[in-house]
Amino acid sequence: MPYVKVAPSNTSFYNTFNLLLGELHQLAIMTIKLLKFVKFLSYYSYINYMDMSATCVMCGKKSQEYAIECSCCGNFFCTEECKVRGHQKKMSHHTWLDYKHLYEKIMNDPQVRLITVCDLDGEIMYSGHRQGTKNLLTPEESRNSLELAVRSWKIRSQLASKIGKGKYVLAEYEKVKRITMPLGENHLLYITTEVKCNHSTLIDMIRNLEWQ
């Protein structure tokens, strides 16, 4: 923006006028720079907003294509291999892969919706939904439901010396069935199924699985 200096006739007036013109010129330049900066910030914010990619916690790769969110820990993994390595820690004398294989066997029943393996303190060892299944509860509600099931099981276990050890607990709702049952001595299986699931057959199948 050109700055034209007015030739003075009244020295005092035109000195003031020229000073004002100079300040307006500087203000215009600053305004243009500010608008450019705001435009840049808007573009940068838009790019970040549109970035839906996730970073693999194992190898650091970032992509929108292959991110696998784990329902056990909430982390993202770029491949199944990274997911296995990220969970390969000892849990009692079982590994994360042991629970994964158990999950896959139980999921052979097409009526099963969700499987969670946890210890008696409610710490999740493995958890997963059937692909394509719509979650009826929020993550927080699911966690509260699991904690309630674990507490209820521990309370019932206090009566084991008189009535024997619990085999399973079945709760049937309008939309789902929920099964809680022991897995060995120190873990629980928490399973939800469709209402039409033959829970007796499912429970018998699970109890016949080899699990030491």
Number of domains in the chain: 1
- Binned at pLDDT 50, 70 and 90, residue 29 comes out as confident
- Binned at pLDDT 50, 70 and 90, residue 41 comes out as low
pTM of the shown model: 0.58
Q: Rounded mean pLDDT of 14-37?
A: 76
| Predicted pLDDT at 7 | 52
Q: Show the domain range for 120.
A: 90-207
- Choice among 82-86, 149-153, 199-203 with the minimum mean pLDDT: 82-86
Which one has a higher pLDDT value, 93 or 130?
A: 130
Over residues 136-189, the pLDDT tens digits come to 988 889 889 999 999 999 988 888 899 999 999 999 999 999 999 998 888 899
Q: Is residue 202 part of a domain?
A: yes
Q: Is residue 203 part of a domain?
A: yes
- Asked whether the predicted pLDDT for residue 71 surpasses 60, the reply is no
- Asked whether the predicted pLDDT for residue 67 surpasses 70, the reply is no
Dihedral angle of Cα 197, 120, 97, 83, to the nearest 10 degrees: 100
- Asked whether the predicted pLDDT for residue 25 surpasses 50, the reply is yes
- Asked whether the predicted pLDDT for residue 193 surpasses 90, the reply is yes
Which one has a higher pLDDT value, 6 or 14?
A: 14
- State the chain's mean pLDDT as an integer: 78
Q: Is residue 55 part of a domain?
A: no
Q: Is residue 181 part of a domain?
A: yes
Domain harbouring 158, CATH code: 3.30.450.30
| Predicted pLDDT at 101 | 87
Q: Is residue 75 part of a domain?
A: no
Q: Is residue 135 part of a domain?
A: yes
Q: Is residue 26 part of a domain?
A: no
| Predicted pLDDT at 195 | 95
CA–CA–CA angle 64, 70, 76 (5° rounding):
35
- With CA atoms as reference, report the closest residue to 176 among 210, 141, 208, 140: 141
Q: How far apart are CA 179 and CA 75, in angstroms?
A: 27
